[in-house]
């Protein structure tokens, strides 16, 4: 019986393949975007977790120096001799031009089991050769594609983090020229009878999870992606809701007939449920495939972004995770249930002999509209409150969510109001009818229009942010990258020869020295630079003492980047410790986009005194721009420097812009997809309405309006609604941009950008919205233009 009912109901789709397509496409799109984003996030997170687990970061406490410098070897030995189970790690990065390799030097003799050091039982490692010079380094085959020179023999091992090599601590000490451990891992179980570790050492004990690890740094990025994924999913559900609603309305008569034939209600509901579940499963599977494809296509961009912006290494490839697939399918099922719940409920409540009268959906009552508007107002006020008083990334995103949801919810009421006002000033019966009829249609279209509003607002917001960012960033790059050439030497001996060679050939040589350290408790870098007009003229200072450069030149002050100033809440004149016993007042704050880490600048002399073991191997050269290419070529030939070791300004700018573009490529792609999905939602809604509106249009046709005219009016109505929606989306989009720039960016990256508006972009988007609406309305309008007169007549013939 249920089977028969199922077959009967399902036959509907055979007669309306377009609807079936809309339903499947909606579910598949929603699943695809959501699961694609989740796949990217999962892959990245797994990759961080692997990297962290490699050294037990996720489980083990660590000891490090408060100033971020290496732990003296003697301190390590003293702790061991006092009985504590700690294990040294020497880690650092080898850079040669673009080739970068993170070296993780572990001591297998003392590493706690949780540290998960590599298995040395692979057969190709001779134990003696692992420990004895020159040692061996373990890495993946991917990592080995681009490597700095001078490495010991390489062995391939799966599971080593990307762009990293694991080796014995002795080998790492030699490669990095650093005998002291970078930090100490603390075994979880210490021997009995010892005083607590914290009492035995001045080193800073950092518990897992509280450290500034990669996953925390990149959280904002993934939250961002997740938000977009959810938005896309929600928009996709609008389509599904529309398609299911339409199918339900059209099958009212069938359901009534089935019930009249004696089919119990439960049977009908089961048949509907099975149908929905089957469709959701099928579409979800389709969406999974699509989502995987989207994620795989975006993955290299995401990997590039994470590397460029956060220094986080993840593979540019995607692996299939069954948990991910199941979760996404579950999400699809839940979404389909949500979208179909209304239809099922109405079927359940339908009186057995009620006239099967398809109306243009249930008219939203004025009361319903008021409730929705009230909810919207509350959301918007909450959003404003969060924006004003929230202070974290999460409240930033909560503000975004409140803003978007509020905007969507208030849309029907706002449109209704506008239309009512418009009909007030409308002259002539025709115009009044159009406005009244449009208002009457609003409830049916409101979901699709809300989707359109979300997509438009997100588009405006994100493109304003990206545009503002790009403009500021390019200007800043121009200022900051003033030197014509940048040269990196391999060692100080080569640097000395280079300087002799360069002296007569350049105007100025500006050494660049830096050391990785901890600033105000965060990982950061201290730079030393010479006092020179290059910096005085072009370094972009956001805040500065009146004579900041002169104060800096005395060696008794420090410049810090905006990130550090914001994170540590530092301002002009505040003291900053840059090394043990060296604390300097802040003379200025400079903007430093694209860098997540804290940074401070002192003079070259101050740097040399504070960090005596670090010599200059990088140099910025000033010379006539026209001579730069020749000198670059000469340097490469004369000193055998690699392509990457001599970089001209233009190359750096290109590289920086590439990183920048990578960062927003993903966002841009998701944006376009969302808009596409919204257009599709509009199409399905209009299709739904088109069939149901015949009873309303037939009298107008009977009064003498031609079908072609009616169709044109339908088209126009869609355009008007899209235009009005756009008008509402604009302020919300700008508000969105403001939240992104002033709250989310500051929290996520530590810098604030001036907001620039791009009216031309809006025009483009406006045109896009109209095109989308026109495309969506075209097919229903055409159908109306060609509807046989008999069909319209039937409206009067069938007294339903």
Partner 1 sequence: MNVKIWTVCISLLATPLCAQGFAGLGTEAQGFAMPERPALFSFPTDHGPHPDYRIEWWYLTATLTGADGTDYGVQWTLFRSAIAPGDSQGWDTSQLWMGHAGLTTPDAHFSAERLARGGIGQAGARPDPFAAWIDDWAMTSTAAAGADALDALTVTARGPDFAYDLALAATGPLIFHGDGGYSVKSDQGQASYYYSQPFYNVTGTLDLPDGAIAVTGQAWLDREWSSQPLSDQQDGWDWVSLHFDNGARLMGFTLRGSGGGAYSSATWISPDGTVQSYPDGALTMTPLAQTEVAGRTVPTEWRIELPDRGLDVTTTPLNPQSWMDVSVSYWEGPIRMQGTHPGRGYLEMTGYD
Interface of this chain with partner 1, residues 111 to 140, rule: CB under 8 A:
111, 113, 116-121, 127-128, 131-133
Which of 150, 179 has the CB closer to partner 1? 179
Residue-wise burial string across 71-89, b where 16 or more C-beta atoms lie within 10 A, e elsewhere: beeebbeebeeeebbbbbb
Under the binding rule (CB under 8 A), the answer on residue 169 touching partner 1 is yes
Stretch that binds partner 1, among 189-197, 218-226, 347-355, 759-767 (CB under 8 A): 189-197
Under the binding rule (CB under 8 A), the answer on residue 109 touching partner 1 is yes
Interface of this chain with partner 1, residues 81 to 100, rule: CB under 8 A:
81-83
Cα separation of 427 and 706, whole Å?
Answer: 21
Which of 133, 150 has the CB closer to partner 1? 133
**Angle, alpha carbons 454-458-463 (nearest 5°):** 155
Cβ 310 vs Cβ 750: under 8 Å: no
Q: Considering only CA atoms, which of 5, 543, 24 is closest in space to residue 281?
A: 24
Q: Tell the residue number behind the tokens 């030097």, with chain if given.
A: 105
Please list the residues that pair with 243 across neighbouring strands: none
Under the binding rule (CB under 8 A), the answer on residue 170 touching partner 1 is yes
Cα separation of 375 and 94, whole Å?
Answer: 56
Task: Give the DSSP H or E segment for 514.
Answer: strand 508-519
Residue 159, both tokens = 């599971």
As a whole number of Å, the CA-based R_g of the chain is 33
Which of 119, 338 has the CB closer to partner 1? 119
Under the binding rule (CB under 8 A), the answer on residue 108 touching partner 1 is yes
Stretch that binds partner 1, among 106-114, 270-278, 378-386, 663-671 (CB under 8 A): 106-114
Q: What phi and psi, each to the nearest 5 degrees, are found at residue 156? A: -85, 135
Which of 127, 430 has the CB closer to partner 1? 127
Q: Which of 7, 21, 66, 77 binds partner 1 (CB under 8 A)?
A: 77
Which of 138, 409 has the CB closer to partner 1? 138
* Largest CA-CA distance found in the chain, in angstroms, rounded: 102
Under the binding rule (CB under 8 A), the answer on residue 509 touching partner 1 is no
Residue 15, both tokens = 């007669």
Which of 179, 355 has the CB closer to partner 1? 179
DSSP per position, 518-564: EETTEEEEEEEE---HHHHHH--EEEE-TTHHHHHHTTS-EEEEHHH
Per rule CB under 8 A, count of chain residues that contact partner 1: 37
Cβ 456 vs Cβ 725: under 8 Å: yes
Please list the residues that pair with 559 across neighbouring strands: 588, 601
Q: Which of 145, 149, 192, 202 binds partner 1 (CB under 8 A)?
A: 192
Minimum CB separation from partner 1 for residue 586, in Å?
39
Q: Considering only CA atoms, which of 236, 223, 300 is closest in space to residue 666?
A: 300
Q: Considering only CA atoms, which of 584, 585, 592, 615 is closest in space to residue 515?
A: 615
Cβ 186 vs Cβ 61: under 8 Å: yes
Q: Tell the residue number behind the tokens 């299911």, with chain if given.
A: 244
Minimum CB separation from partner 1 for residue 181, in Å?
10
Stretch that binds partner 1, among 102-110, 382-390, 691-699, 721-729 (CB under 8 A): 102-110
Task: Give the DSSP H or E segment for 476.
Answer: helix 429-480
Under the binding rule (CB under 8 A), the answer on residue 15 touching partner 1 is no
Minimum CB separation from partner 1 for residue 109, in Å?
4
Size of the chain in residues: 800
Minimum CB separation from partner 1 for residue 118, in Å?
5
| Interface mask toward partner 1 for 459-478; x: CB under 8 A | --------------------
Which of 159, 624 has the CB closer to partner 1? 159
Minimum CB separation from partner 1 for residue 209, in Å?
24
Which of 55, 710 has the CB closer to partner 1? 55
Which of 169, 448 has the CB closer to partner 1? 169
Q: Which of 43, 58, 75, 107 binds partner 1 (CB under 8 A)?
A: 107
Under the binding rule (CB under 8 A), the answer on residue 59 touching partner 1 is no
Contacts to partner 1 by CB under 8 A: 73-74, 76-77, 80-83, 106-111, 113, 116-121, 127-128, 131-133, 168-170, 173-174, 179, 189, 191-194
């Amino acid at each position: 019986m249920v089977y028969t009912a199922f077959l009967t109901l399902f036959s509907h789709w055979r007669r309306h393949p377009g609807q079936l397509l809309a339903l499947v496409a909606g579910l598949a799109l929603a699943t695809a975007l959501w699961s694609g984003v989740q796949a990217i996030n999962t892959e990245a997170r797994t990759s961080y977790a692997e990297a962290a687990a490699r050294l037990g970061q996720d489980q083990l406490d660590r000891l490090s120096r408060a100033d971020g410098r290496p732990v003296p070897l003697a301190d390590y030995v003293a702790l061991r001799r006092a009985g504590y189970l700690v294990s040294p790690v020497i880690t650092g990065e080898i850079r040669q031009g673009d080739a970068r390799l993170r070296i993780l030097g572990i001591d297998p003799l003392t590493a706690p089991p949780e540290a998960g050091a590599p298995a040395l039982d692979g057969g190709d490692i001779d134990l003696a050769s692992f420990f004895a010079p020159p040692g061996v380094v373990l890495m993946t085959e991917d990592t080995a594609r681009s490597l700095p020179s001078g490495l010991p023999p390489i062995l391939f091992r799966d599971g080593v983090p990307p762009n990293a090599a694991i080796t014995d601590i002795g080998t790492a000490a030699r490669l990095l020229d650093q005998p002291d451990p970078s930090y100490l891992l603390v075994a979880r179980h210490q021997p009995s009878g010892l005083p607590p570790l914290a009492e035995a050492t001045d080193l800073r004990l950092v518990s897992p999870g509280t450290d500034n690890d990669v996953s925390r740094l990149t959280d904002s990025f993934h939250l961002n992606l997740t938000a977009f994924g959810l938005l896309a999913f929600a928009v996709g559900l609008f389509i599904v809701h529309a398609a299911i609603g339409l199918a339900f309305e059209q099958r009212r008569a069938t359901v009534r007939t089935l019930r009249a034939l004696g089919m119990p209600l439960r049977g009908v509901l089961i048949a509907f449920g099975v149908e929905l579940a089957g469709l959701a499963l099928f579409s979800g599977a389709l969406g999974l495939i699509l989502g995987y494809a989207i994620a795989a296509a975006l993955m290299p961009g995401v990997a590039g972004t994470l590397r460029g912006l956060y220094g986080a290494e993840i593979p540019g490839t995607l692996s299939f995770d069954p948990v991910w697939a199941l979760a996404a399918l579950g999400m699809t099922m839940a979404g389909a249930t949500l979208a179909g719940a209304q239809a099922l409920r109405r079927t359940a409540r339908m009186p057995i002999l009620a006239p099967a009268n398809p109306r243009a959906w249930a008219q939203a009552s004025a009361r319903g509209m008021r409730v929705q508007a009230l909810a919207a107002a509350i959301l918007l006020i909450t959003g404003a409150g969060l924006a004003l008083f929230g202070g974290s990334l999460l409240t930033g995103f909560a503000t975004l969510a409140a803003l978007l949801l509020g905007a969507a919810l208030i849309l029907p009421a706002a449109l209704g109001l506008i239309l009512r006002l418009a009909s007030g000033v409308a002259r002539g019966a025709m115009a009044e009818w159009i406005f009244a009829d449009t208002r009457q249609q609003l409830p049916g279209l409101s979901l699709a229009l809300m989707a359109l509003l979300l997509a438009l607002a997100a588009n405006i917001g994100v493109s304003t942010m990206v545009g503002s960012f790009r403009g500021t960033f390019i200007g800043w790059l121009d200022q900051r990258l003033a030197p014509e050439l940048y040269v990196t030497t391999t060692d100080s001996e080569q640097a000395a020869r280079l300087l002799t060679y360069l002296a007569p050939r350049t105007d100025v040589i500006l050494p660049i020295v830096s050391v990785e350290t901890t600033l105000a408790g965060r990982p950061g870098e201290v730079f030393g630079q010479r006092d020179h007009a290059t910096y005085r003229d072009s370094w972009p200072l956001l805040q500065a003492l009146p004579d900041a450069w002169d104060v800096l030149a005395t060696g008794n002050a420090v410049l810090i980047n905006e990130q550090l100033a914001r994170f540590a809440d530092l301002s002009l004149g505040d003291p900053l410790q840059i090394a043990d016993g060296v604390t300097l007042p802040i003379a200025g704050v400079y903007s430093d986009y694209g860098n997540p880490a804290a940074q401070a600048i002192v003079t070259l002399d101050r740097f040399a005194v504070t960090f005596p073991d670090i010599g200059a191997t990088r140099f910025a050269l000033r010379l006539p721009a026209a001579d730069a290419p020749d000198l670059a070529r000469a340097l490469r030939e004369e000193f055998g420097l690699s392509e990457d070791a001599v970089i001209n300004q233009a190359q750096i700018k290109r590289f920086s812009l590439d990183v920048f573009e990578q960062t927003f490529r993903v966002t841009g792609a998701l944006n376009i997809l969302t808009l596409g999905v919204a257009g599709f939602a509009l199409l399905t809604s209009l299709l739904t309405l088109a069939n149901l509106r015949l009873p309303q249009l037939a009298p107008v046709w009977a009064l003498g309006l031609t079908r072609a005219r009616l169709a044109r009016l339908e088209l126009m109505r869609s355009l008007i609604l899209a235009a009005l929606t756009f008008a509402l989306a604009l302020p919300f989009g700008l508000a969105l941009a403001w939240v992104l720039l002033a709250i989310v960016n500051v929290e996520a990256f530590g810098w604030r950008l001036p907001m620039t508006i791009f009216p031309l972009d809006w025009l483009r988007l406006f045109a896009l919205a109209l095109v989308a609406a026109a495309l969506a309305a075209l097919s229903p309008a055409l159908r109306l233009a060609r509807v046989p007169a008999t069909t319209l007549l039937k409206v009067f013939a069938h007294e339903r």
